[in-house]
């Protein structure tokens, strides 16, 4: 059971996924990308079934190993599909539904509690506030909009307009631009990747 939780929230393109993954590797912790669950549900919803049926039939698996981010929807490997434009465009609307959020919340908590490593890094939008408000380390990882757009452009095909629209829509549901009480703000606008990783590891070491 992972008794040490590092909760990391932030907007799209903040670098939180790559930083969280690397921190998990170096600490020997598990890694949970909660956005993958929402993206998987968005792809699942493209079947066109009604919401109660979608909630009932959602069968999703994700690896907690930071080196193997395989995602399965039923038998189908959607590891690459969840990163595409189709998933990115559909995900915010689906993430607004309270029943979908409730399902994702239960799912994330159960994955955290069954992680076999001594600790786990969990990243998303509502980890510090809703999923794991009692986490030993709570961080809001952010960067200026121009830096986020540039970073995302290097990694994924999502357009700047789509990314901005997604952040605007998401931030109406959960607050991830300003840190909640007790949450440390890490602004990576002027930090390179290694410096961002070190900033997070520093906060983890201070809490251990
Ligand atoms: O982090 P990522 O960009 O992969 O998240 C995809 C989408 O999932 C977000 O745009 C948001 O709509 C939703 N999400 C959420 N709460 C989380 C993680 C993701 O609402 N904890």
User: How many domains does the structure of the chain reveal?
Assistant: 1
Task: For residue 130, give the ligand 1 atom closest to its CA.
Answer: 21
Looking at residues 119-145, what average pLDDT do you find? 97
Distance, in Å, from the CA atom of 67 to the CA atom of 22, rounded to the nearest integer, reads: 9
- Among 54-63, 123-132, 170-179, where is mean pLDDT lowest? 170-179
Per residue in 27-41, is it b (16+ CB within 10 Å) or e — as a string?
bebbbbbbbbbbbbb
Given a contact cutoff of 8 angstroms between Cβ atoms, the answer to whether 2 and 118 are in contact is: yes
Using a CB cutoff of 8 Å and minimum separation of 24, what contacts does 46-53 make?
A: 46/86, 46/90, 51/97, 51/99, 51/100
15 among the known binding-site residues?
A: yes
- Among 10-14, 53-57, 135-139, 198-202, where is mean pLDDT lowest? 10-14
Distance, in Å, from the CA atom of 74 to the CA atom of 91, rounded to the nearest integer, reads: 19
Which of 78, 95, 128, 155 has the most ligand 1 atoms within 8 A of CB, as the residue to mutate?
A: 95
H or E, element range at 203: helix 193-207
Q: How far away, in angstroms, is 38 Cα from ligand 1 center?
A: 6
91 lines ligand 1 (CB under 6 A): yes
- What is the pTM for the complete model shown? 0.95
CATH number reported for the structural domain that contains residue 147 in this entry: 3.40.50.300
Residue minimizing CA distance to atom 8 of ligand 1:
35
172 among the known binding-site residues?
A: no
16 lines ligand 1 (CB under 6 A): no
CB half-sphere exposure, 106, CA atoms < 13 A: 8
Question: Domain limits at 182?
Answer: 4-207
What is the pLDDT, as a whole number, of residue 2? Answer: 75
133 among the known binding-site residues?
A: no
What is the pLDDT, as a whole number, of residue 69? Answer: 83
Mean pLDDT across the chain: 94
> What single DSSP character describes residue 6?
E
123-to-33, 84, 120, 152 alpha-carbon distances in Å: 5, 19, 10, 17
Residue bearing tokens 């961080």 = 139
Please write down the HEC assignment for all residues of 123-134: EECCHHHHHCCC
H or E, element range at 113: helix 98-114
């Amino acid at each position: 059971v992972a008794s040490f939780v590092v909760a990391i929230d932030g907007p799209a393109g903040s670098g939180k996924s790559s930083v969280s993954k690397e921190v998990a590797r170096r600490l020997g912790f598990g890694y949970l990308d909660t956005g993958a669950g929402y993206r998987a549900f968005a792809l699942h919803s493209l079947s066109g079934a009604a919401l109660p049926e979608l909630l009932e039939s959602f069968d999703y698996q994700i690896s907690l190993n930071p080196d193997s981010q395989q995602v399965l929807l039923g038998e189908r490997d959607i590891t690459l599909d969840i990163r595409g434009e189709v998933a990115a465009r559909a995900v915010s609307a689906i993430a607004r539904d309270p029943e979908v959020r409730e399902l994702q919340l239960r799912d994330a908590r159960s994955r955290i509690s069954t992680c076999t490593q001594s600790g786990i890094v969990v990243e998303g939008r509502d980890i510090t506030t809703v999923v794991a408000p009692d986490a030993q380390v709570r961080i809001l990882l952010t960067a200026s909009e121009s830096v986020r757009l540039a970073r995302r452009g290097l990694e994924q095909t999502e357009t700047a307009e789509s990314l901005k629209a997604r952040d605007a829509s998401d931030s109406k549901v959960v607050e991830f631009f300003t840190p909640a009480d007790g949450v440390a703000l890490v602004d990576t606008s002027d930090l390179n990747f290694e410096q961002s990783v070190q900033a997070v590891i520093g906060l983890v070491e201070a809490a251990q």
